[in-house]
Amino acid sequence: MSTGKLHRTPIHWLGELVIQPVEFVGDFVLFSWLTFKWVFSCWPRSSVIWPALYQVGVLSLPVVVVTGAFIGMVLAVQSYDQLRVMHLESQLGAVVNLTLVKELGPVLAATMLAGRVGSAIAAEIGTMRVTEQVDALEALGADPIQYLVVPRFLGCVLLIPLLTVVADAIGIYASWLFSTAVLGVNSYYYWNYTYQFVTLFDVSSGVFKSVFFGAAIALVACHRGFNARAGAEGVGTAATQTFVYSFVFILFLDFLSGVLLSQISQWLYG
Amino acid sequence: MSMPALELKQVSRQFGTQQVLREIDLQVFPEETLVLIGESGCGKSVTTKLLAGMLEPTTGTVFWQGRDVASLSAEEKLRQRLKIGYLFQSAALFDSMNVYENIAFGLHQNTDLKESTIREIVQDQIRAVGLTVDVGRKKPSELSGGMRKRVGLARALALAPEIIIYDEPTTGLDPVMSDVVNELIITTRERRPVISIIVTHDMHTVQKVADRVVMLFPLAGLEPGQPQVIFEGTPEQAFSSREERVYSFVHGDATRRLQKLALA
Angle between helices A150-181 and A187-197 in degrees, nearest 10? 140
Residue A61: the pLDDT is 94
Looking at residues B123-146, what average pLDDT do you find?
Answer: 92
**For chains A and B, what is the number of CB pairs under 8 angstroms?**
75
Per the CB < 8 Å rule, is B93 touching A140? no
DSSP-derived letter for residue B133 is G
Q: Which of B31, B25, B181 is nearest to B91 (CA)?
A: B181
Per-residue pLDDT for B263 more than 80? no
Per-residue pLDDT for B166 more than 90? yes
Per-residue pLDDT for B202 more than 60? yes
Looking at residues B222-234, what average pLDDT do you find?
Answer: 88
Per-residue pLDDT for B260 more than 80? no
- Assign B48 a pLDDT band (cuts: 50, 70, 90): very high
Task: Give kind and range of the element (H or E) at residue B12.
Answer: strand B6-15
Extract the residue ranges of chain A whose pLDDT is less than 70. Answer: 1-6
pLDDT digits (tens, 9 = 90+) for A57-80: 999 999 999 999 999 999 999 999
Q: CB-CB: which of B85, B86, B222 is closest to A2? A: B222
Q: Going by DSSP bridges, is the β-strand pair B18-28/B6-15 parallel, antiparallel, or unpaired?
A: antiparallel
Residue B242: the pLDDT is 87
Per the CB < 8 Å rule, is B86 touching A136? yes
Residue A2: the pLDDT is 45
Nearest-Cα distance to chain A for B55, in Å, is 10
Residue A3: the pLDDT is 46
User: Is A102 part of any domain?
Assistant: yes
Q: Among residues of chain B, what percentage have pLDDT more than 90?
A: 68
User: Is A215 part of any domain?
Assistant: yes
Residue A12: the pLDDT is 85
User: Is A168 part of any domain?
Assistant: yes
Adjacent-strand bridge partners of B87: B166
Residue A204: the pLDDT is 93
User: Are the CB atoms for B62 and B142 separated by under 8 Å?
Assistant: no
- Assign B98 a pLDDT band (cuts: 50, 70, 90): very high
The set of residues, in sequence order, having a beta carbon less than 8 Å from that of B133 and lying 6+ positions away, is: B123, B126, B127
Distance CA A109, CA A162 (A): 10
Q: Which of B78, B62, B70, B69 is nearest to B27 (CA)?
A: B62
Residue B264: the pLDDT is 63
B5-29 burial: b if 16+ Cβ within 10 Å, else e: bbbbbebbbeeeeebbbbebebbbb
User: Are the CB atoms for A179 and A185 separated by under 8 Å?
Assistant: yes
* Sign of the alpha-carbon dihedral angle for B131, B135, B138, B144: negative
Residue A231: the pLDDT is 80
Contacts of the segment B170-177: beta carbons below 8 A, 24+ positions apart: B170/B200, B170/B202, B170/B204, B170/B205, B171/B89, B171/B200, B171/B201, B171/B202, B172/B145, B173/B145, B173/B146, B173/B149, B174/B146, B175/B204, B177/B145, B177/B146, B177/B149
B160 in A contact zone (CB under 8 Å): no
Per the CB < 8 Å rule, is B85 touching A8? no
User: Is A3 part of any domain?
Assistant: no
Domain residue ranges in chain B: 6-83+163-263, 95-160
Q: CB-CB: which of A3, A132, A141 is closest to B109? A: A141
Number of H helices, E strands in chain B: 10, 10
Per the CB < 8 Å rule, is B20 touching A4? yes
A42 in B contact zone (CB under 8 Å): no
Adjacent-strand bridge partners of B166: B87, B198
User: Are the CB atoms for B96 and B85 separated by under 8 Å?
Assistant: no
Residue B224: the pLDDT is 83
Task: Give kind and range of the element (H or E) at residue A39.
Answer: helix A10-39
Q: Which of B158, B154, B159 is nearest to B143 (CA)?
A: B154
The set of residues, in sequence order, having a beta carbon less than 8 Å from that of B32 and lying 6+ positions away, is: B195, B196, B211, B212
User: Is A4 part of any domain?
Assistant: no
Q: How far is CA A57 from CA A52, B73, B182, in A?
A: 8, 38, 47
Per the CB < 8 Å rule, is B223 touching A5? no
Q: Which domain holds residue A254?
A: 10-269
The set of residues, in sequence order, having a beta carbon less than 8 Å from that of A12 and lying 6+ positions away, is: A6
Per the CB < 8 Å rule, is B82 touching A141? yes
Q: Among residues of chain B, what percentage have pLDDT more than 70?
A: 99
Dihedral (Cα; A176, A182, A188, A194), 10-degree rounding: -30
User: Is A127 part of any domain?
Assistant: yes
* Class of the CATH-defined domain B6-83+163-263: alpha beta
Length of chain A: 270
Residue A185: the pLDDT is 92
Per-residue pLDDT for B178 more than 70? yes
Per-residue pLDDT for B130 more than 90? no
* Sign of the alpha-carbon dihedral angle for B183, B32, B23, B165: negative
A23 in B contact zone (CB under 8 Å): no
Per the CB < 8 Å rule, is A5 touching B17? yes
Residues of A in contact with B95 (CB under 8 A): 127-128, 133
What total of structural domains would you count in chain A?
A: 1
Query: Least CA distance to A135: which residue of chain B?
Result: B54
Nearest-5° Cα angle at A180, A176 to A182? 110
Residue A1: the pLDDT is 43
Residues of A in contact with B110 (CB under 8 A): 140-141
Rg (C-alpha) for chain B, rounded Å, is 19
Nearest-Cα distance to chain A for B229, in Å, is 15
Looking at residues B201-230, what average pLDDT do you find?
Answer: 90
Looking at residues B47-63, what average pLDDT do you find?
Answer: 94
Distance CA B8, CA B60 (A): 8
The set of residues, in sequence order, having a beta carbon less than 8 Å from that of A72 and lying 6+ positions away, is: A96, A100, A170, A171, A172, A173, A174, A175, A178
* ipTM surpasses 0.95: no
Residues of B in contact with A131 (CB under 8 A): 90, 92
Per-residue pLDDT for B241 more than 50? yes
Per the CB < 8 Å rule, is B86 touching A135? yes
Adjacent-strand bridge partners of B231: B215
Residue A44: the pLDDT is 84
How many angstroms from the chain centroid is the CA of residue A239? 14
A81 in B contact zone (CB under 8 Å): no
User: Is A17 part of any domain?
Assistant: yes
User: Are the CB atoms for B209 and B186 separated by under 8 Å?
Assistant: yes
**pTM for the full model?**
0.86
Looking at residues B180-190, what average pLDDT do you find?
Answer: 90
Dihedral (Cα; B218, B221, B225, B228), 10-degree rounding: -30
User: Is A5 part of any domain?
Assistant: no
